[in-house]
Amino acid sequence: MTSPPTTAAAGTPAPLLPDDETGRPAGTHAGPRTEPRTVNPKDFRRRSLRTRRDFWVFLAFALPNLILILLFTYRPLIANMQYSFLDWTLGSPTATQVGLANYVRFFTGPDAREILSTTAVFTLATVGGSMVLGLAIAFVLNQNLRGTTFARSAVFAPYVLSGVGIGLVWLFIFDPVYGVLAWFLRQFGASSPQWINDPDLALTMVTLVYIWKNLGYCAVVYLAGLQSMSQDVLAASSLDGASGWRQLVSIKLPLLSPTTFFLSITCMLSSLQAFDIIRIMTPLGQGTSTLLFEAYLQAFGAYNRAGYSAAISTVLFVILLAITLLQLRFVEKKVHYS
């Protein structure tokens, strides 16, 4: 599973930054905080003592986590960019500065077009597919029927399961001789193509599996959006004679647009970071080499090209950063329809 999509999501009840004046979170404490107090010097001293103690308490509580984050998240980010300017074989003691050569090589070489288009196709297809299917399933789950609670968790389950395990199951289903899919085709007298070994088909199959794994997440998030929808608005439109379709297009989808935006961003981030299913189903990256997978192959596959791999993952990081900034800007504006 990729990192949970909480990236500064919309709708957090508390403000992002605390009030610096009081050092306490703004607006979270009941009652006026700014009331004038009679301050005597003794109070003042006690307070500064307490402040100094708080300083050390803060460090003791937060520093271990902070150091780990700086060491294993920030440092590598910068180191990765430095490596990307090197011609360097993993394991070799020597490296030469080559400036932008790795980037030039990537973008002008034969790989870039294929890798970028594979990444784009995989990302857009998985995001679009799991969102459309997820929305449809959310409507199914939103009905007042027996068994929806069970169905809800059943549909969500693949999202928490190991991508390695899931990849293997689908690899078996797609087996051109012994797989269920091949058997099914035989019933119609058709012979099975090499779903996974054929680079032209592999990307489609891997994409389908990824959609299958993720659609439950989209369904559950959409369901939450549907359930928080104002019933008054829906009832009013029913009274006005709006048909089901009309309601869907004119009321429900617009009301769901913040959810749709949230999902499109989080799903896109997670698709760009997809690894386990791709690696299990197509270990050589036949037709399925996305940016992340290519960065892995270049450094840890057959080539050990550390500098080149670092350049590719820097490209990936820039893309991820751009998407995140887009999301933050949107959240700042707090566009909501209800």
Does residue 228 interact with other proteins by CB under 8 A? yes
When asked if residue 154 is in the footprint of other proteins (CB under 8 A), the reply is yes
User: Judged by CB under 8 A, does residue 83 bind other proteins?
Assistant: yes
Residue 61 interacts with other proteins (CB under 8 A)?
yes
Are the C-beta atoms of residues 172 and 182 closer than 8 Å to each other?
Answer: no
Residue 308: what are its φ and ψ, rounded to 5°?
A: -65, -45
How many residues bind other proteins, per CB under 8 A?
A: 124
The one among 160, 190, 249, 326 contacting other proteins by CB under 8 A: 160
CB of 14 to other proteins, least distance (A): 3
Tell me the CA distances in angstroms from 121 to 82, 117, 238, 276, one per residue in order.
Answer: 30, 6, 40, 18
Task: Please identify which residue in 206, 221, 251, 255 interacts with other proteins, judged by CB under 8 A.
Answer: 221
Residues 111-130, interacting with other proteins (CB under 8 A)? none
Q: Which stretch binds other proteins (CB under 8 A): 22-30, 95-103, 124-132, 200-208?
A: 22-30
- Choosing from 98, 131, 135, 141, the residue that interacts with other proteins (CB under 8 A) is 141
Task: Please identify which residue in 25, 109, 128, 254 interacts with other proteins, judged by CB under 8 A.
Answer: 25
Choose the binding region for other proteins from 46-54, 94-102, 104-112, 200-208 (rule: CB under 8 A): 46-54
In terms of Cβ atoms closer than 10 Å to its own Cβ (0-12, 13-18, 19+), residue 289 is buried
- Please say whether the dihedral angle defined by the alpha carbons of residues 140, 146, 149 and 152, taken in this order, is positive or negative: negative
- For residue 97, the cross-strand partners are 86
Instruction: Give the binding range for other proteins (CB under 8 A) out of 18-26, 103-111, 121-129, 200-208.
Output: 18-26
Residue placing its CB nearer to other proteins in the complex, 127 or 220 = 220
d(CA 140, CA 134) in angstroms, rounded, equals 10
Question: What letter would DSSP give residue 88?
Answer: E
Binding of other proteins by 39 (CB under 8 A): no
Spatial distance between the Cα atoms of 252 and 225, rounded to a whole number of angstroms: 10
As a whole number of angstroms, the distance between CA 58 and CA 271 comes to 37
Provide CB contacts within 8 A for 103, sequence distance 6+.
84, 311, 315
Question: With binding defined as CB under 8 A, does residue 30 bind other proteins?
Answer: yes
Please report whether residue 236 would count as binding other proteins according to CB under 8 A: no
- Could you say whether residue 6 binds other proteins (CB under 8 A)? yes
User: Should residue 316 be labelled a site residue for other proteins when binding is judged by CB under 8 A?
Assistant: yes
For residue 73, give Cα distances in angstroms to 4, 65, 144, 206, 290: 16, 11, 46, 29, 22
Q: Which helix (H) or strand (E) holds 2?
A: none
User: Are 122 and 288 contacting, i.e. CB atoms less than 8 angstroms apart?
Assistant: yes
9 CB-near residues (< 8 Å, 6+ apart) = 262, 266, 331
69 binds other proteins (CB under 8 A): yes
Stretch near other proteins under the rule CB under 8 A, chosen from 34-42, 107-115, 121-129, 312-320: 312-320
Q: Which stretch binds other proteins (CB under 8 A): 19-27, 37-45, 93-101, 247-255?
A: 19-27
Indicate which single residue of 148, 243, 250, 257 sits in contact with other proteins (rule: CB under 8 A): 148
CA atoms of 87 and 80, how far apart (whole Å): 13
Instruction: Pick the piece of the chain touching other proteins (CB under 8 A) from 37-45, 124-132, 247-255, 293-301.
Output: 293-301
Q: Which of 17, 39, 239, 302 binds other proteins (CB under 8 A)?
A: 17
Q: Mask: binding to other proteins, 243-282, rule CB under 8 A, as x and -?
A: ---------------xx--xx--x--x--xx-xx--xx--
